[in-house]
Amino acid sequence: MERPPMLEHFAEELRLARARAEMSQADLAGSCNYSAAMIAKVETCERRPSLDLARRCDAILGTGGLLERIQRRIGQESVVGYFQEFAGIEQEAKALRCFQPTFIPGLLQTEPYARAVLSSSGLLTSEETEEQVATRLHRQEILSRATPPLLTAVLDETALRRPIGGPAVMRDQLLHLVKVGNTLPRVRIHVVPASAGAYAGLDGPLVIATPPLGEPVAYLEGTFMAKSSIIRSRSGICSMSGTRSGARHCLTNGRSS
């Protein structure tokens, strides 16, 4: 699998900065509280650097935020093609409203749960799966930044009961939802109970992003990736009919059943 150019750029800049500082990999690892093996793997592009590691290395090596800026670019270029456009919209949004009938929303997934979801199709190699897991976790950083978006997540009860990854993974995922719901004031989680029976939104997931300026933007993920689409107007969102009408009504009116 071809390495993302920004991943190689990060590795090169880290090696150069460490050399200028006359620090060994072990020296840098000890200063930033990471293992020397991790530093070595980042410098050879075997592991993608976390935002925390980039920030620590910037502070220790005096690179003025360069490594953090490159790390953020790695996340952007690793997003799968069909989601790239909306990923940029998601990062800039001041509010996000999502509906998920089958899985926990990506912004709220734990690492093991995300890995189980992404590997389940059998279409990705283990390396590709790990890259997409890292990208998904990178997207979640918007929830802990200084000015996070208001996230309203509506889940079908089935998403909470399906044991993705097995009982232990699902248990940790549910505990994570409880923690996020209790500690992040700008995250609101609602559940459509199984007693609601059949409703239109069961056809597929929907996300509505409110940008800093302009009208809301909706992302509809179809049964197949080729059917995913973006709607860029309030009138277009409000006129959605058929399979997504139930979810759209729930999200645009801020209520769940």
Summarize pLDDT for 85-112 with one digit per residue, the tens: 677 788 889 999 999 999 999 999 999 9
State whether 23 and 108 are in the same domain: no
Residue 257 lies inside a defined structural domain of this protein: no
CA dihedral 30, 14, 125, 156 (to 10 degrees): 70
| Of residues 126 and 250, more confidently modeled | 126
- State the total domains in the chain: 2
Handedness of CA 186, 118, 39, 81 (dihedral sign): negative
State whether 40 and 93 are in the same domain: no
**pLDDT of 168 strictly over 60:** yes
Residue-range definition of the domain harbouring residue 114:
83-252
DSSP string, 136-185: HHHHGGGGGSSS--EEEEEEEHHHHHS-TT-HHHHHHHHHHHHHHHHH-T
With a CB cutoff of 8 Å and minimum separation 6, the contacts of 148 are 142, 184, 186
| Of residues 195 and 239, more confidently modeled | 195
CA–CA gap between residue 155 and residue 170 (Å, rounded): 15
State whether 73 and 115 are in the same domain: no
Residue 68 lies inside a defined structural domain of this protein: yes
CA–CA gap between residue 38 and residue 79 (Å, rounded): 23
Summarize pLDDT for 134-143 with one digit per residue, the tens: 888 888 988 9
Residue that finishes a domain, picked among 44, 77, 110: 77
Q: Which residues of the chain form beta strands (DSSP E)?
A: 95-100, 150-156, 187-192, 206-210, 217-220, 229-231
Q: What are phi and psi of 256, to 5 degrees?
A: -130, 155
Which pLDDT score is estimated for 223? 45
- The pTM for the full model equals 0.67
Summarize pLDDT for 178-229 with one digit per residue, the tens: 999 999 999 999 999 999 988 877 778 888 999 888 788 888 775 444 455 6
Residue 98 lies inside a defined structural domain of this protein: yes
CA–CA gap between residue 119 and residue 165 (Å, rounded): 10
**pLDDT of 158 strictly over 90:** yes
| Of residues 237 and 252, more confidently modeled | 237
